[in-house]
Structure 1
């Protein structure tokens, strides 16, 4: 069985940006919890709760980022390359869970609204916007290249947007005494969390379940490989992401002739070139065969 690796230039994710964001979010979380209790603002407490989930998610993301850099061993032949995908999954799940907790609290407060100290709400919301906005800028570049960083980035971005919503609510309460707006803003924050959290959760789940990536079409791969001279049939195919950088293909290849290993090496080189250039598959594991009695379906239930 032949196995090959091809690596493109990788974006280097900066873990120190995560650490700095953790420190900033611990500060803002403590300030908002105290401010929410003093002012009576549910939106401020909900923002603090979301900030606390941010701290946990950022710590989890940082640990996963460090683990993903560990080298493979006899006991962990892939190393911890999936740690960041697992972190993204957990972080996305916490976004959705926090959202439902906020919805429950907002509905309760709508039924029994209370007067809120709006000045404190406004100042703490401004603090949240500044701190989370800065953290968002720190992680923005990494978020475009890494699902784990994107999950952390989304936590911070939604927190910044939540602080904007809390600020608007605080101004309306200050000038118009519309205290029920606090609950409406909380509901809006929660719905947005569900939308972004569910999308990331779905993507992380697909990778963890070894699903074929959305942009990969097995039949198209087969068509391209079958154009290569010496290939009879590519079958028993599996395509999956190990992590965001490594896209694997495993398959059996029935050859048209009973060729030498050196000839198969040349054939494999052509297949690798096609799969990398047209499908960005950079890890290929192919079992050569010649008139072997086994299932020849593209997808075989192992």
Structure 2
């Protein structure tokens, strides 16, 4: 039953992503046309950000579909990392776009130009409504994995950027402060850097097979070493495959030359211990007795 629920949930997520993609395509096209007509850099920067949303949502959509594919003999982990790669690509694109917007914003700030504020106000309201709907659609899914979080963050930042553009449009309409357009562009870009950096760092940790932040290797070694019959724990590797799977592999030196059935019982104890205390759900242990290898090295290639 749980397996079917997972697929139903993944299918529902895919449909929500498709709706968000269509909405963002419409918003992007209208903002590009409106930005060119009105001369608003903030509106064009919002359009560029929206276009990045479209690309990120497309990446997230295909990653979501790939992650559901079953493992094969030549792809033993299946496509479980597709969503992590999508999160990395999306976070990277956020940072690149932010830098381009800062560059353009500074250039325009030094040479402000008149902007058609009425069109800016109308289109920013359209973008707020469209992105707001997409944000509500993906809000629940955002807590489930990095891929959906990256898509959600793209949409959320763009909705907030559109709010800023709306405020800028109103200020330009009633006060003719055209420099506000450039200032908002830079603020939007800095916010993109802030949001994108953490996600980039998080997805990079997973891709580089770093030990999850919540796990302290020395603590695991200490806990496992307390189990009766275990002499030493060494050559430990802990990595995160995706958001659902954390793997542990280690060599364990036993005090006595135990039977295989005894090892199985100890292995179950280890699995329970690391799962409940450290959230590790895949364990691979190499048992040893009197083997000549460095027992004092906890972590080694």
TM over 0.5: yes
Corresponding residue for residue 229 of structure 2: 230
Corresponding residue for residue 146 of structure 1: 145
Corresponding residue for residue 216 of structure 2: 217
How far apart are residue 237 of structure 1 and its match? 0.2
Contact persistence 2:53–2:151 (CA under 8 A): yes
C-alpha distance after superposition, 1:93-127 (max 9, x if no partner) = 00000000100110110111100000000010001
- Aligned to 1:73, the other structure's residue is in SS state coil
Alpha carbon RMSD of aligned pairs, Å?
A: 1.3
What is the TM-score with the length of structure 1 in the denominator?
0.95
In 1: Cα distance, 2:100 partner to 2:180 partner:
18
In 2: Cα distance, 1:284 partner to 1:297 partner:
21
In 2: Cα distance, 1:279 partner to 1:163 partner:
41
Corresponding residue for residue 178 of structure 2: 179
- Aligned to 2:210, the other structure's residue is in SS state coil
Please list, as runs of the form range in 1=range in 2, the aligned pairs for 1:1-302 lying within 5 A after superposition. 12-13=9-10, 14-302=13-301
In 2: Cα distance, 1:295 partner to 1:246 partner:
29
Q: Which has the higher contact order (CA 8 A, sep 6+)?
A: 1
How far apart are residue 297 of structure 1 and its match? 3.3
Contact persistence 2:236–2:300 (CA under 8 A): no
In 2: Cα distance, 1:267 partner to 1:301 partner:
24
How far apart are residue 298 of structure 1 and its match? 4.3
| Structure 1: runs of 5+ lacking an equivalent | 1-6
In 2: Cα distance, 1:52 partner to 1:116 partner:
22
How far apart are residue 301 of structure 1 and its match? 3.0
How far apart are residue 10 of structure 1 and its match? 6.8
- Aligned to 1:211, the other structure's residue is in SS state coil
Worse overlay, 146-155 or 12-21 = 12-21
Contact persistence 2:250–2:286 (CA under 8 A): yes
| Structure 2: runs of 5+ lacking an equivalent | none
Pairs aligned (count)? 295
How far apart are residue 186 of structure 1 and its match? 0.5
How far apart are residue 256 of structure 1 and its match? 1.2
What is the TM-score with the length of structure 2 in the denominator?
0.96
Contact persistence 2:233–2:298 (CA under 8 A): no
In 1: Cα distance, 2:73 partner to 2:20 partner:
35
